[in-house]
Structure 1
Amino acid sequence: MSRGKIVLLVVLAAMIAAFFIFDLGRFFNLEYIKSQQVALSAFYQDNTLLTVGGYFAVYLLVTALSLPGAAIMTLLGGAIFGLLWGTVIISFASSIGATLAFLVSRFLLRDSIQQKFGSNLASFNKGIEQEGAFYLFTLRLVPAVPFFVINLVMGLTPIKVRTFYWVSQLGMFAGTIVFVNAGTQLAQIDSLSGILSPGLIASFVLLGAFPLLAKKGVALVKGKKQSV
């Protein structure tokens, strides 16, 4: 491992360790943000740019380091900024943070994984090159798949950075709206599990799978025409 990778790994490990050593997770739970909602909203009214900048930076850090708390941060954004601005701010913060996590995974792990398992991953890599955008879009729309896992795994694939970014932003947009809208009613929320119903999750899955299924269907029809 190169010196640059070692330095980055040490810095990231130290930041993640600090999160747990100092129990910073206590600030990323539903009860805490509900208790602080009024104070944070008042601070936002008096310090708009500072609040937006600080919130954006924390959201970016949480997602880039794959720390627990993105869902809570999204609810908090809805409570403070409202549906419109909350959606805009969080859409960019989550997409940029996810891309940073993706890049970290690619920089630290991709070469070693490809060297050790390159022959086994050849067909998978080819599939990602051909269907990567559609596949990623489907994953982004399925709330059951942890977003940090998608970020780290996709960093090991050949998918282009710009493709990862715009597909992630598009694919996460619907879920972002749902959570931001729930955050505007933060006082009425008792648990995160109540935000996404099974029917809503199924709708996301169908929406995400449709482009991939449509492309497969077109390819199948073309194949049959050529064989006639």
Structure 2
Amino acid sequence: MTSPSPTSKARPAVLRYLPLIVIALVALIGALTLRDYLTFETLRENRELLLGWRDNNYLWMALGFIAVYVVIVAFSLPGAAVASVTGGFLFGLFAGTLFNVAAATTGAMAIFLAARWGLGQALTARLEASDGTLGRLKEGLRENEISVLLLLRLVPAVPFFVANLLPALVGVKFRNFVWTTALGIIPGAVVFTWIGVGLGAVFDRGESPDLSLLWEPHILGPLLGLSALAALPILIKAVRGRKEI
């Protein structure tokens, strides 16, 4: 009876890592080739064309916008902020926010599953079998999974692709990842979409949108407040644990 060849053993591992390899390659190519195209200047130059398409066929325009946004998020391409603002520019505050959240959540799900299928399985198995520091990390994550996932979405300093990949690599539940992503990105989506609603007036003045608005106290304050609220269960558990000791 012959033993399996090294090639046959290696093939499943290659297949597991293939989605992440594809994402990394597309992200690299996109960063090098699309940086000058997915910009507000491109949006300004194609303003009338896009508005015409929207007015003539709203449904297909909405579906096309969502599909492009999903690809941007799933492959970590440049232009996510431009896409979010474009949602408000084309569809208004309510529909734009809805489309932005739906597209960003779907793209996040895609990259989560790709990471979980590859490295995530190996790292999760390692966490399950570990004691010591890794074991404490595993238990802490399980006890505070919802709070941690919401914090990843609400804290402005956490890059979106990090908040997509990290949960997959440490074994969080997929259903928890999905609903906390959809809920946690709503505040930021509303802000970006709101900027897009006034984009036409900005273009008319010959200006570009000022995304530094996101760091203004009246915007950053509520986001940090929501972050503190999400972190409160972790703090309460930590305090109770010390008292029991």
> Structure 1 length normalisation: TM-score?
0.86
C-alpha deviation, 1:142, in angstroms: 1.5
Which residue identity does 2:160 align to in structure 1? F
Which residue identity does 2:176 align to in structure 1? T
Structure 1 residue 132 corresponds to structure 2 residue 129:
no
Structure 1 residue 172 corresponds to structure 2 residue 185:
yes
CA distances 1:189-213 after superposition (whole Å, capped 9, x unpaired):
4332234414422321221221431
State the match for 1:111 in structure 2.
Answer: 121
The 5 Å alignment of 1:149-168 reads: 149-168=162-181
State the match for 1:207 in structure 2.
Answer: 226
Which residue identity does 1:201 align to in structure 2? L
Structure 1 residue 5 corresponds to structure 2 residue 16:
yes
The count of corresponding residues between Structure 1 and Structure 2 is: 225
State the match for 1:183 in structure 2.
Answer: 196
CA distances 1:48-81 after superposition (whole Å, capped 9, x unpaired):
1221111111111111111221111000010001
Which residue identity does 2:169 align to in structure 1? L
Structure 1: gaps spanning 5 or more residues: none
State the match for 2:42 in structure 1.
Answer: 32
CA distances 1:113-155 after superposition (whole Å, capped 9, x unpaired):
4567755532222211110111111221122211111111111
The 5 Å alignment of 1:60-75 reads: 60-75=70-85
Q: Secondary structure at the match of 2:144?
A: helix
> What is the CA–CA distance in structure 1 between the aligned matches of 2:108 and 2:19, rounded to whole Å?
17
Q: 1:185 to 1:92 in 2, by over 3 A?
A: same
C-alpha deviation, 1:39, in angstroms: 1.8
- Larger Rg over CA atoms: 2
State the match for 1:43 in structure 2.
Answer: 53
C-alpha deviation, 1:173, in angstroms: 0.4
C-alpha deviation, 1:15, in angstroms: 3.1
Which residue of 12, 15, 19 corresponds with 2:30?
19
> What is the CA–CA distance in structure 1 between the aligned matches of 2:88 and 2:212, rounded to whole Å?
17
State the match for 1:123 in structure 2.
Answer: 136
The two structures, once aligned, show a CA RMSD in angstroms of: 2.7
C-alpha deviation, 1:10, in angstroms: 4.8
Q: What is the percentage of aligned positions where both structures have the same residue? A: 31
